[in-house]
Amino acid sequence: REQPWELIMDKKHFRLWRRPIQGSHLYQYRVFGSYTDVTPRQFFNVQLDTEYRKKWDSLVIKLDVIERDLATGSEVIHWVTHFPYPMYSRDYVYVRRYNVDKENNLMVLVSRAVEHPSVPEDPEYVRVRTYESQMVIRPHKTFDENGFDYLLTYSDNPQTVFPRYCVSWMVSSGMPDFLEKLHSAALKAKKMELEVRDYLAKGPDTAPEPCSPAQLEYA
């Protein structure tokens, strides 16, 4: 039987819940949020554009697309991120896939940890092998008009020796900080008209083309 969700944070733009994952010392987290000053397209694209994230997320050490499958639109990402001192930096290898459901006015982005032969473990980092994330975005009106709600469900095992309450504190403080930075990055892209790659340009059933350097340059 699944554990009930516990509300642990109630902010202006989002609420954060958690629940224990049975058989482990970890929690699963869920965020429900809403913004009215950026479009769903901007929020979605800013999350997916790895080159732009290197500019706005100061915790990123490395973020690269390792492989892209044109048949499904899936991408394998290698992400190395700073963790609070005195912990080592963590690295993630994960596959992500997205879909834009125009008929139901929804955008979906899912990620989970995978193994990949091109990214062996580096002794300088701690490899996170358990990671899952699902985000659903529902526009208030259309993809290109300001206003949307989103639901993010997230869990990972950061491989720490710290007790559950310490890990919970790190996630519950780090998650809101990341979401605020993501929102600010979307606003900045909008105001400065940055050329963030448009992942909605293709139809919902058409896989994206590979990135060219020109697509990832910014005004």
pLDDT tens by residue, the chain, 219 residues: 678 999 988 988 899 999 988 888 788 999 999 999 999 999 999 999 999 999 999 999 999 999 998 888 889 999 999 887 777 899 999 999 999 999 999 999 999 999 999 999 999 999 999 999 999 999 999 999 999 999 999 998 877 655 555 666 566 667 788 888 999 999 988 765 555 667 776 543 444 444 333 333 321
Region 6-190: CATH code: 3.30.530.20
Sign of CA dihedral 184, 185, 189, 192: positive
